[in-house]
Amino acid sequence: MEERHKKEYYKHSRRGSLSEGDMQDVNRTESESTLKELIIKWLERMPFFDEKYWKDYKRTTESDSGERYKFWVDYRIAYQNSLSENEAGRLKEFDKVFFDEGRGDIPPAAMRAALFITIYRNLPIFQMPFELLNTLSEIDELLSNWRYRHFMMVRRMIGLRVGTGGTSGAGYLEGTLSQHYAFREITEVATFLIERSKRPNLPNALKEKVSFNL
C-alpha cells in the first residue's frame, strides 16, 4: 500500500464506495503477505549458491571478495566489458543492486537469484522459475495497458472533471500510469544481461544438479 499512487483513496470514495463487509475483506487482505513478498522469500531460498556446488568452479579473474561472490565477480567483469562508453555508470548500479542495497524493496540476494535464473533460463530447472518471473512482468504490462486505455477513455468522456470515485479523474489516472508497477525490479533485471556466449561456465556439480541428470 505504501507504494500505491494516492494510497487508500478508495476507502474515502463517495458513490460506488465499498460496503462494510467488503472493507473488512480488503483490510484483512492488506494485512497478509503480498505476492511480491512471497516472491522475494522464494528467490532468497534459491539453493544453488551453496558452496558445495561451486568447489570446482574455475575463476576467470582474481579477486579478494572471497568464495561467496566468486561467480558474481566474473559476471561483473563480463558485464563491464559489455557496456558502451555511454553506459559507464551502469557498473555502479550493478554493485548497488546486487551487492549493496538491492532494487526497490527487493534485497540483493533475491535480485541475484532473479538475475541468475534469467541468465541460465535455458537450463531445465530454471525454465519454470523464469516463466514465473516473466509472468510477473506481463502482469505489469497488461495492467499498464488497461490503465492507459482507461485514462484515455475518461479524458475523452469527462475531460478533467472529478471522477466517480471522488478522485481528480483523468489527472489521477494519468498519475497511475507511471506509478503502478508492482514488479518493476524484476523486469529491470534485463538491464544487467550479457551475451550468452560471454556467460561464465558453471561448475560440473551445479550443471548436474540443474539439468535433471539422474
Helix (H) or strand (E) holding 171: helix 170-179
Please tell me which residue, 146 or 161, carries the higher pLDDT value: 146
Residue 173 CB neighbour total at 10 angstroms:
20
Domain that holds residue 57: 33-210
Q: Does residue 9 form part of some domain? A: no
Whether pLDDT at 163 is above 80: no
Q: What is the pLDDT of residues 69-90, one digit of tens each?
A: 788 989 999 999 998 888 878 8
DSSP 130-168: HHHHHHHHHHHHHHHHHHHHHHHHHHHHHTTSPPTTSS-
Residue 12 falls inside a structural domain: no
- What's the maximum distance between 2 C-alpha atoms anywhere in the chain? 66
Look up residue 209 and give its three cell numbers: 544438479
CA atoms within 13 A on the CB side of 31: 6
In contact, 136 and 42? CB cutoff 8 Å? no
In the chain, the number of structural domains is 1
In this predicted model, which residue has the larger pLDDT, 137 or 152? 137
**Reported pTM:** 0.75
Instruction: Specify if 127 maps to a domain.
Output: yes
Strand partners, 106: 103
The pLDDT value given to residue 1: 62
